[in-house]
Amino acid sequence: MKKPGDILKGVAGVLLLAALVASGCAVIEGTRLKWEKIADGSGAGEEFVNLHYADLSYAYAGHAPRLIVVTDTSAASTLQGRVLSSHLERIAEVDFSSSWVAVIYQGRQVMKDYLPIEVNDVTRRGNTVAIYAQFHEPPGSLDTSPYYILKIEKHSRIDERKLSFTLKTEDQIIPQICAMRGEHLPWEKMVFDRGVDQAYRGRSPQLVVIASLDALSSIQDQFPPQYLEILSDVDFTTHFAIVIYQGLKESTHYSVEVIDVKRQDSTIFVCTQFHEPLPEVARGSMETSPFYIMKVEKSEGLKREFVFTLTDHGDEIFRQTEIIP
């Protein structure tokens, strides 16, 4: 015979499930993990506006939801420019030996009033950690890029090498972006340009590795002089450069964003997102050719032949073999 307490727990569970279904939230499945909010941002305040005009790759320019998970201190640097500096400071205080950090982006929205992202729960089922969230999409005229940062307590029985993360909303299941296994390689953005000068005329995405000063001659016709000067200042004994082209576009508001760079044996993954204009944003009629230039720290283990693989939204779109001297 069931005890009264067990009956009450069962009733409470049914009521919770009914409430979640009624609210439109995804049904929560799995073992609950401890988590807490670090910060949330509307992407619409003065600091974001200043970032927008100073650096067009501010926060998150895409209009689809996205999940980024950071599992160690070195990879936390990839969030630079994707969240407010004050929030980045809070992330730096996290003990990654016992926690992960997840950043949920709703995507660029046009809102009248900012309503924060709601996180309902975090669960584990097998090797998958699911984050349950709700997005609010009121009509309006304010351009925002909302996000939510949370810290998730690691479970001692979880094998991180096999772990995957997903974001679940009332109507979507969104996998973690740049989820391939591998070693995070320290890298730094050098140039982000929407390509109004149309330096690269190809229509397909392309990746170019510049491992020495002599290699600059192969791309000297594809950049304005000021960018060639920036590349010529790279110390190629300690770094190599990578150029990512989105391809020639027939209008404005396209852009390239680099998420992370990871090494897996003899393959180096350059994980990117190519962004397109929002449907409601007016586009200019001029042709553009967006590109992104970065430099990667060259350790002893990187001085050999590698296959460089370029991904967009997690899908491979370009690869080539290069030797790093």
103-154 confidence digits (pLDDT tens): 999 887 665 555 678 999 999 998 899 999 998 765 555 567 788 999 999 9
The whole-number pLDDT of residue 271 equals 95
39-61 confidence digits (pLDDT tens): 987 655 555 544 444 443 446 77
Q: Are residues 198 and 306 in the same domain?
A: yes
Q: Are residues 188 and 280 in the same domain?
A: yes
Q: Are residues 261 and 288 in the same domain?
A: yes
State how beta strands 305-312 and 267-275 pair: parallel
Distance CA 93, CA 285 (A): 46
**Among candidate residues 145, 175, 205, the one where a domain is terminated:** 175
pTM summary value? 0.80
The whole-number pLDDT of residue 10 equals 43
Of the candidates 188, 202, 198, the one whose C-alpha atom is nearest the C-alpha of residue 233 is 188
Number of structural domains in the chain: 2
The answer to whether residue 200 is domain-embedded is yes
Q: Are residues 244 and 195 in the same domain?
A: yes
Q: Decide if pLDDT at 186 tops 60.
A: yes
State how beta strands 164-168 and 128-134 pair: parallel
The answer to whether residue 7 is domain-embedded is no
Distance CA 88, CA 205 (A): 31
The answer to whether residue 12 is domain-embedded is no
Q: Are residues 141 and 192 in the same domain?
A: no
**Among candidate residues 175, 194, 213, the one where a domain is terminated:** 175
Q: How many CA atoms lie within 13 A of 222 on its CB side?
A: 22
Q: Which amino acid is at 36?
A: E
The answer to whether residue 21 is domain-embedded is no
Q: Are residues 53 and 132 in the same domain?
A: yes
The answer to whether residue 10 is domain-embedded is no
Question: Which structural domain, as residue segments, surrounds residue 188?
Answer: 183-323
Q: Are residues 293 and 264 in the same domain?
A: yes
Task: To the nearest 10°, report the CA torsion of 41, 43, 48, 51.
Answer: 110
Scan for tokens 């990746």, then name that residue.
207
The answer to whether residue 235 is domain-embedded is yes
